[in-house]
Amino acid sequence: MSARDYHESLWEGIPEGRQPPDWAPRLAFLLDHAPAGSRVLDVGCGEGFFTGALRRAGREALGVDLAAEPLRRARARDPALDVRLLPAAGPWPLNDTSFDVLWAGEVIEHVLDTAGWLSEVRRVLRSDGTLVLSTPAHQPLTRLRLGLSPRAFEAHFDPRSDHLRFYTRRALLALLADFGFQPVATRALGGPPGARRTLLVAARRLRWRVTPADSRPAA
């Protein structure tokens, strides 16, 4: 199966018109970090719920996805939406430093080439632009439950799942720092304290990407 066919197949079991989970708090967090009039790229836009909400809230929004089916649904619901198909591999057909904000809602955990993906995020964001994302949270009580229950562990890390990466807050912030992003705000929502289901992060793109090698004294 090609990469394109794989992404299309994921949408076969998703009912059309289903609102994203934790819709209201995720949208509020996004709008808090996307000023009015800003140009926003919605990566992995799906059916365009966030793309449309951004446009209605006075932002200039472009939605992109790897699958054509959700884009068809998005256009059917709102023909005015600007949504486009990304190539399954390689650079995104978008200009350098062309967006003020990039939103990736429940996307990074699906990414195979995380380094390549974050490099493209940096490329299309302007200096001091903001990456805003959400991903499943793995807080202490969640990790404890998974460690104590073989059944829960096997279900959560099912190799047939489309979730390829599993992030704690610390691991995600360390990853973003490696690619030149400085955290601005984080929030966990849904579920009890210590076992929240969703992690929200806003991080500013620094002008220069500082790697560990850059910080070592020259020989």
Q: Write out the two tokens for 182.
A: 């400085």
Q: What is the pLDDT of residue 84?
A: 98
Residues 119-148 pLDDT 10s: 999 999 999 999 999 999 999 999 999 999
Residues 6+ positions from 208 with CB-CB distance below 8 Å: 180
Q: Note the pTM of the prediction, 2 decimals.
A: 0.92
Backbone phi and psi for residue 127, each to the nearest 5 degrees, phi listed first: -60, 135
Q: What is the pLDDT of residue 6?
A: 87
Residues listed for the chain:
219
The domain over range 3-207 is classified in CATH as 3.40.50.150: yes
Between CA 42 and CA 53 the distance in angstroms is 11
Q: What is the pLDDT of residue 210?
A: 64
Q: What is the pLDDT of residue 152?
A: 95
Q: Write out the two tokens for 48.
A: 């365009």
Residues 6+ positions from 56 with CB-CB distance below 8 Å: none
Tokens 């020989």 map to which residue? 219
Q: What is the pLDDT of residue 2?
A: 86
Per DSSP, the three-state class of 8 is: helix
Burial profile 13-46: b = 16 or more Cβ within 10 angstroms, e = fewer: eeeeeeeeebeeebbebbbebbeeebbbbbbbbb
Which residues of the chain have a pLDDT value below 50?
213, 215-219
Per DSSP, the three-state class of 87 is: coil
| Contact by Cβ (8 Å): 90, 123 | no
Which segments of 26-98 are extended strands (E)? Answer: 39-43, 60-65, 83-85
Q: What is the dihedral of CA 184, 188, 193, 197, to 10 degrees?
A: -160
Q: What is the pLDDT of residue 218?
A: 37
Q: Write out the two tokens for 59.
A: 């932002």
